[in-house]
């Protein structure tokens, strides 16, 4: 889910039907689709796989460690905004929930008119976090590639007695001639050098 899609497909996890119905009505009233309503005791990772929701909305009396572990598994398999409404909660549960990927954790605040603003804030927070994580992963990947290229360049400089710029040019030409990315050629040079070193 790279950007918010409206209407959202929402999987509703409810402990009590008396609370599920007003939440479902509030979601439907603004055009969201409730893809399914399941119990908190069900396998939520399996339910998320089956219903393919854009967001998970949970309404329970207390979160409990088992539910929080389950939500973490859901997030690890398929990251998506998760909103939890609980009647009461320990501070530790709140921290565990947020660490486990929950985008919004609301204690003693289930009102039908609050569901939509909380949902929208949670989706926005989730998307911003995903964008930041994607940028971080991209930056780390580029840094790793640069280190690999620098190492291969050093090997070429040493093996062929080349200045730095010439070693870079050789590496670039090798990549062009083989129709491969520079980092791939650099990795093969490092692998060959390590194999030579072993013998």
Contact call for residues 10 and 27 (beta carbons, < 8 A): yes
Q: HEC profile for 85-153?
A: EEEECCHHHHHHHHHCCCCEEEECCCCHHHHHHHHHHHHHHHHHHHHHHHHHHHHHHHHHHHHHHHHHH
3-state secondary structure of 38: strand
Please check whether residues 45 and 126 belong to one and the same domain.
yes
One domain for residues 66 and 128: yes
What pLDDT, in 10s, does the model give residues 143-184? 999 999 999 999 999 999 999 999 999 999 999 999 999 999
pLDDT for 199 equals 66
Domain-ending residue, one of 96, 117, 135:
135
Is residue 162 exposed (0-12), middle (13-18) or buried (19+ Cβ within 10 Å)? middle
Q: Do 121 and 155 belong to one domain?
A: no
Does residue 2 lie within any of the structural domains? Answer: no
pLDDT of residue 109: 64
Q: Which residue among 81, 116, 135 closes a domain?
A: 135
CATH of the domain at 147: 1.10.10.10
pLDDT of 5: 56
**Residue 35 tokens, joined:** 């893809």
Question: CA-to-CA distance for 5 and 8, rounded, in angstroms?
Answer: 6
Report if residue 1 sits inside a domain: no
- Residues of the chain scoring pLDDT < 50: 1-3
The answer to whether residues 96 and 179 belong to one domain is no
pTM confidence score: 0.67
Buried b (16+ CB within 10 A) or exposed e, 130-142: beeeeeeeeeeee
């Amino acid at each position: 889910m790279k950007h918010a899609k409206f209407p959202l497909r929402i999987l509703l996890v409810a402990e009590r039907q008396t609370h599920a119905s007003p939440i479902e009505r509030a979601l439907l009233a603004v055009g969201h689709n409730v893809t399914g309503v399941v119990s908190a005791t069900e396998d939520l990772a399996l339910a998320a796989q089956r219903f393919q929701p854009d967001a998970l909305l949970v309404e329970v009396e207390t979160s409990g460690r088992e539910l929080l572990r389950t939500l973490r598994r859901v997030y690890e398999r398929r990251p998506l905004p998760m909103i939890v409404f609980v009647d009461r909660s320990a501070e530790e549960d709140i921290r565990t929930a947020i660490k486990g990927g929950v985008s919004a954790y609301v204690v003693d605040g289930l009102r039908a008119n609050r569901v939509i603003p909380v949902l929208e804030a949670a989706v926005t927070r989730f998307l911003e976090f995903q964008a930041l994580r994607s940028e971080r992963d991209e930056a780390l990947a580029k840094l790793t590639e640069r280190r690999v290229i620098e190492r291969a360049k050093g090997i070429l400089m040493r093996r062929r007695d080349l200045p730095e710029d010439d070693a870079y040019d050789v590496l670039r030409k090798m990549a062009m001639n083989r129709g491969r990315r520079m980092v791939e050629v650099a990795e093969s040079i490092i692998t060959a050098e390590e194999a030579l070193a072993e013998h």
